[in-house]
Amino acid sequence: MRIRAWYAGAIALAAGMVAATAAVGQDAASTAQEIEKYRQALQDGNPAELWEARGEGLWKKPAGPKNASLEKCDLGLGPGVVKGAYAQLPRYFADVDRVMDLETRLAHCRVTLHGLTPAQATARPFGSPDNRSDNDALVAWVTSESKGATMNVPSAHAKEKEAFALGEKIFYFRGGPYDFSCATCHAADNTRIRLQDLPNLTKQAGAQLAYTTWPAYRVSQGELRTFQWRLNDCFRQQRFPELGFASDASIALTAFLARNANGAEFKAPTIKR
C-alpha cells in the first residue's frame, strides 16, 4: 500500500530524471544532482522492495515437483541462514565440491529442493516488465538480508583461490573486434564514457563502491537489475558473445570482484540511474 503510493511517484520522478539525463547540454554534475534528488525523494523507500517482497515469498512458499520451500537452502552459513550470507559469497561448497555464487547456489537449491531440472532453474535469469524473473526477486531478497553486513568473501579453500585467480585473468582478457577487456573501461581513476563515471575496479575503493551497490533498481529501465545483469551488459558493450548465466567464468569473475570489495559495508539493493 505504502509501496504503491511511492511507486507511482517513483515512476513519475524516474521519467523526469531520464528525460533530464538525456537532455542535450546536461553536464555530469547536474546529472549527478538529479540522481541525488531522486535518491532523497525515495529516502524511505526504494521500488526494489517490490522485488524483495516477492523474493521472500518465493523463498518461503512450497513449490516445484517436490512441493518444498527453499527454507532449507544452505547459502554457505548453514541451511536456511539468509542473514549476512550474500556478503560471504561466492564461496566453496563442500556438498558440490565447487565454488558457487548466489545465482548458482539458488539454482542448485531450486533443483535439489523444488525438484526443478537445471534448465528450468536457470531458464529466466533476467526479467523484463512483461516477463518477470524469479531469480531477480530471490536475489533481491537474499541480498537485502545482507544490508549493513561487512563484505567478507572467503579465500581459504584452494578452489576459492583458483576462482579468484581465474576471475582476475578474465578481467584482463582482451579480445573481440574492439580488443576490449574489463580493464579498458575499469582500470583507471576518474574516467568516464560519455558522461557515465567508470569505477576503477582494480582498486579496492572502486571495487567496493561498485560491488556493494548491486543489485539496484534501475530508474532508466524500471527494473531491478542484479550484479550478473551488470556483467552481462558490460560484456555486450565489450563486443563479446553472451556470458552464460551461472557459468564458471561468471562465478570466477564475480569471485574476483566480490573479494576485492572485502571490508566494505554491503548497501544493496540500491537505486541507480
How distant is the alpha carbon of residue 165 from its chain centre? 21
Distance between CA 221 and CA 239 in Å, rounded? 22
Q: How many whole angstroms separate alpha carbon 226 and alpha carbon 45? A: 18
Check binding of 183 to another protein (CB under 8 A): yes
Cell, residue 95? 556438498
Active-site annotation, residues: 234
What is the grid cell recorded at 102?
548466489
Least distance in angstroms from the C-beta of 238 to ligand HEC: 4
Piece of 58-66, 97-105, 131-139, 182-190 that binds another protein (CB under 8 A): 182-190
Binder of residue 234, out of ligand HEC, another protein, none (CB less than 5 to 8 A by kind): ligand HEC
Contact 136, 252 (CB under 8 A): no
Residue nearest to ligand HEC (CB): 182
Q: Helices in 61-157 by DSSP H: which ranges? A: 102-109, 118-121, 134-144
DSSP assigned state of 264: S
* Binds ligand HEC (CB under 6 A): choice among 117, 193, 247, 263: 193
Grid coordinates belonging to 204: 579496492
Q: Which of 117, 172, 205, 263 binds another protein (CB under 8 A)?
A: 172
Q: Which is nearer to another protein, 27 or 44 (CB)?
A: 27
User: Residue 195 is placed in which grid cell?
Assistant: 558522461
Instruction: Note whether 195 binds another protein by CB under 8 A.
Output: yes
**Total residues in contact with another protein, by rule CB under 8 A:** 43
Q: Which of residues 194-233 bind ligand HEC (CB under 6 A)?
A: 196, 198-199, 201, 209-210, 213, 230-231
